Each structure stands twice: as C-alpha cells, then as structure tokens.
C-alpha cells in the first residue's frame, strides 16, 4: 500500500482482499456436520466391492513409476548442477571449456 493512498482507498483495498480470501477459501459455503447427507453403509460396501483392484494396482504402478522417475531426475539434475559449479569454479577450467566450445561452434558454423 502506497503512503499516498487515502484512508478510504486503503479501506476499500483491504475489504476487497478480505472478500477475495473469504470466497477463495470456501468459507461462505461450509456445511454443518449434522446437515450432511447420510450414505448407507450397504451402498458404500457395494461400491467398494465392485472396484477392480487389479486395475487400481496398474494405475497406481504407472503413477508411482512416473513419480519415481521425476524424483530420480530431479536428484540427478541437482547433483550434476553441483558438479558443474564445482568444476567451473576454477578459472583455468572455465577458460578451457570456453575455448573448446568456441572451437566447436566455429566448426559447426563453417568458420574454420
């Protein structure tokens, strides 16, 4: 909030932020515990018993594999970044790498 704002402007801005937070949190539509619809336990058991656990396992395996791949790749990327920073922290090595890259760029560009 800028110091040039009037009290009324700041009040309106604060009220807007409060209203946005109230609506986005879902506070305006909360149900009381006693008002919730009761689902018969026999229906829940029927639905549960109709679940194909083989299909559930297959879907879980796919999702877990994807998650595992992401974790491994993130760990490897972090390790590689750390290693590169360590190697490139030496001025001589950094200049050597730059020289090598420049020569390869010239080769690719046909400048040599």
At 63 the pLDDT is 95
Print burial letters for 14-47: b (CB count within 10 Å at least 16), e (below 16).
eeeeeeeeeeeeeeeeeeeeeeeeeeeeeeeeee
pTM for this entry: 0.43
Domain extents in the chain: 7-29+54-109
The per-residue pLDDT for range 31-74, each reduced to its tens digit, is 777 777 888 999 999 999 999 999 999 999 999 999 999 999 99
Helix (H) or strand (E) holding 25: helix 7-25
Tally the residues of the chain: 112
Question: Token pair of 111, please?
Answer: 């400048």
What's the pLDDT band for 1 if we cut at 50, 70, 90?
very low
Token representation of residue 73:
């790749």
């Amino acid at each position: 909030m800028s110091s040039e704002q009037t009290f009324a402007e700041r009040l309106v801005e604060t009220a807007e932020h409060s209203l946005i937070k109230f609506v986005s949190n879902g506070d305006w539509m909360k149900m009381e515990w006693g008002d919730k619809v009761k689902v018969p336990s026999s229906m829940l058991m029927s639905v549960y018993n109709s679940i194909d656990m083989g299909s559930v396992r297959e879907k879980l395996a796919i999702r877990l594999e994807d998650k595992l791949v992401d974790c491994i790749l993130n760990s490897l990327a972090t390790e590689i970044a750390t290693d590169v920073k360590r190697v490139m922290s030496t001025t001589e090595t950094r200049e050597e790498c730059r020289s090598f890259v420049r020569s390869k760029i010239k080769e690719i560009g046909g400048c040599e």
